[in-house]
């Protein structure tokens, strides 16, 4: 069965790191990354470039993944419901039969902190805008997904209150 794993999350949330770990465990999967596509098309992952060119390459790589591996990971923020629905519709039309979203729901404060440590930083106002988009229209099965996994274990990232109380005991 052809499967697509649709990653959702803010810049700096850990989506790409998660995708890389998943590829180590399941090397037969294809990774389709908008960052890599921008690097390939425009010479830099930081250059946004015309979305229509990026979108055509996403579709091409979806088709290639279906013919080669049957399973793909789509690594992009996918913060807007409208864009998620479009990706899901195109993926289904191309032949993906099972689409599962993994929402890497890292706290926005942590995404902002991790973003500051990246070599290619996303402007803070863009992260905050995407945060509002996800908060106001969170991913749901009603978007056409077969499954939705929310990775939001706050304890995995640490808990400021618990950490502070431990330091003072």
Q: Which of 7-11, 20-24, 114-118 has the highest mean pLDDT?
A: 7-11
Q: What is the pLDDT of residue 153?
A: 54
Is 68's pLDDT higher than 60? Answer: yes
Q: Which stretch of 17-21, 50-54, 86-90, 106-110 has the lowest confidence by average pLDDT?
A: 50-54
Confidence of residue 70 (pLDDT cuts 50, 70, 90): confident
- Compute the distance between CA of residue 166 and CA of residue 109 in angstroms, rounded to an integer: 21
Q: What is the CATH number of the domain that holds 33?
A: 3.40.50.300
Q: Rounded to an integer, what distance in angstroms lies between the CA atom of residue 140 and that of residue 153? A: 18
Domain count, the chain: 1
Tokens standing for residue 169: 């005991």
Can you read off the two tokens belonging to residue 16?
Answer: 């790409």
Q: Is 2 in contact with 97 (CB distance < 8 Å)? A: yes
Give the model's pLDDT for residue 160: 35
Q: Which carries the bigger pLDDT value, residue 14 or residue 168?
A: 14
Q: Could you list the residue range(s) of the whole structural domain that residue 142 is in? A: 3-167
Give the percent of the chain with pLDDT over 90. 70
Q: In what order do the strands lie in the sheet with 30-33?
A: 30-33, 71-75, 3-8, 98-104, 147-151
């Amino acid at each position: 069965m052809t499967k697509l794993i649709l990653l959702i999350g803010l810049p700096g949330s850990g989506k790409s790191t998660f995708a890389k770990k998943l590829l180590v465990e399941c090397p037969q999967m294809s990774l389709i990354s908008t960052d890599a596509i921008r690097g390939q098309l425009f010479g830099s992952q930081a250059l946004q470039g015309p979305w229509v060119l990026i979108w055509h390459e996403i579709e091409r790589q979806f088709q290639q993944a279906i013919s080669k591996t049957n399973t793909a990971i789509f690594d992009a923020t996918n913060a807007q419901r409208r864009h998620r629905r479009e990706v899901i519709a195109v993926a289904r039309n191309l032949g993906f039969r099972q689409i599962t979203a993994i929402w890497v729901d890292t706290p926005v404060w942590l995404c902002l902190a991790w973003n500051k440590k990246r070599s290619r930083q996303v402007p803070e106002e863009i992260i905050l805008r995407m945060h509002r988009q996800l908060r106001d229209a969170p991913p749901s099965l009603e978007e056409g997904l077969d499954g939705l996994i929310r990775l939001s274990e706050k304890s995995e990232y640490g808990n400021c209150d618990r950490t502070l109380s431990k330091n003072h005991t």
